[in-house]
Amino acid sequence: MSKALGYKAFGEADVQTFFERPDPVPGPAEVLIRVEAAGVNPLDHKLRSGHAPALNGHLPFPQVLGMEAAGTVLAVGDDVTGLAVGDRVTGFALTGAGTYAETTVLLGTSTARIPDALPATWAATIPVAGTTALDVLDQLDLPAGSSLLVNGIGGGVGIALAQVALDRGLVVTGTASTAKRELVTSTGATFVDYTEGDVVERLRAHAPDGFDAVVDNVGGDSLRALAPLGKKLVSVGDPSVAELGGAFVERRLDRAGLERVAELMVAGKLDPHITQTYPLDRADEALALVESLHAKGKLVIDLGL
C-alpha cells in the first residue's frame, strides 16, 4: 500500500483527500516507480475540478493528483524498451494514476532516464514545464536575434521558456507581477510589470514594432490584449488562440524531449527555479498556491528519499 492525495468526486479543493492505495500495476507500456518528487501544475486542479473531462471524465474514482514525477523504476511492462528496474527516471503519469503519491505508473514512451547529477526535484519539473518550453520554441522556430514576448513569464513554464529562449539567442521580454521582478531579471529577460498601468501601452513603448513572437501562458483577456503585439502567436493554456490567428502548442510528450531538457539542466542552461518544496502530506498546500494563479517559479512535492 502507498499514500496518495486524490479525490473521489470532481470539485473544489475540499474534495481532496489522502488515502492508501495498493501500488498500481503497470500495463505492458508502463513502468511502476517509487516517486521521489512530483511537479505541481495548473492541470492538476483543472482535472480535479472536472474542467478537462476529455482527459479524465471517463476514469474511475478515486483519481490521484499530479501528471509528472521523478523516481526509481520498480517494475517494467513487457513492451517498454530502454528502461530497467533500478533506473532513475522522470516522466508523465497516466491520467488519474497521479504523482502526488509514494508510487505511480508512468508511460514508458514518455519516460526517460536522468543523469545521476540531476536532483529528483529538478527532474520532476522536466515533463510539463521543461518540455513545454522546448515544444513552444521548436514550433516557433525563430532565428537567433528574434524578439520574444512571454506573457506570464514568472510561473513554471514562463521561467523555463525564458532560459531556453535566451540560450537560443532570442531577446526575451516577459510580463509578470511586481514580486517576480528579481526572479525574471535574474534569467536575463526584460521584466514588464503587468500590474502597473496599461501593459499593452508599455510593451508598445518598449517594442514599437512589436515582437517577432508572443508566447502566452495566461489566456483569456490577457491573451487577447497582447496577441496583436506578435508577428507569430502561440498559447500553451488557451486553445481560443486559434481565433486570434495563433496556434496552440503542439505537445510531443516523447522521451527525446525529456532527455534534451535534462541535458540543458546538467549543462547549467536551465534552472527550474523551484521556489518551494513540500512534503507529500502538505501537497494540498502546494496545489492551493498554484490554484491561486500566482505561483512563483516552480513548486515541487519532495518525498525526501
Q: Which residues bind ligand NAP (CB under 6 A)?
A: 41-43, 128-129, 132, 151-152, 154-158, 175-177, 180, 194, 217-218, 222, 236-237, 249, 251, 290, 293-295
- Which of 87/193 has CB closer to ligand NAP? 193
Minimum distance between the CB of residue 85 and ligand NAP, rounded to whole angstroms?
Answer: 30
Joined together, the cell numbers standing for residue 6 give 486524490
Given phi > 0 = left and psi -120 to 50 = alpha, else beta, which region is 41?
A: beta
Minimum distance between the CB of residue 153 and ligand NAP, rounded to whole angstroms?
Answer: 7
Distant-in-sequence contacts of 231-240, Cβ < 8 A, 24+ apart = 232/140, 232/142, 234/136, 234/139, 234/140, 236/132, 236/136, 236/157, 237/42
Q: What is the dihedral of CA 41, 291, 250, 70, to 10 degrees?
A: 0
- Which of 76/207 has CB closer to ligand NAP? 207
DSSP string, 184-222: HHHTTPEEEETTSS-HHHHHHHH-TT-EEEEEESS-HHH
Q: Which residue is nearest to ligand NAP (CB)?
A: 155
Closest alpha carbon to 16 in 278, 305, 286, 303: 286
- Which of 24/42 has CB closer to ligand NAP? 42
Minimum distance between the CB of residue 75 and ligand NAP, rounded to whole angstroms?
Answer: 28
- Which of 15/288 has CB closer to ligand NAP? 288
Minimum distance between the CB of residue 6 and ligand NAP, rounded to whole angstroms?
Answer: 19
Minimum distance between the CB of residue 219 and ligand NAP, rounded to whole angstroms?
Answer: 6
- Which of 193/259 has CB closer to ligand NAP? 193
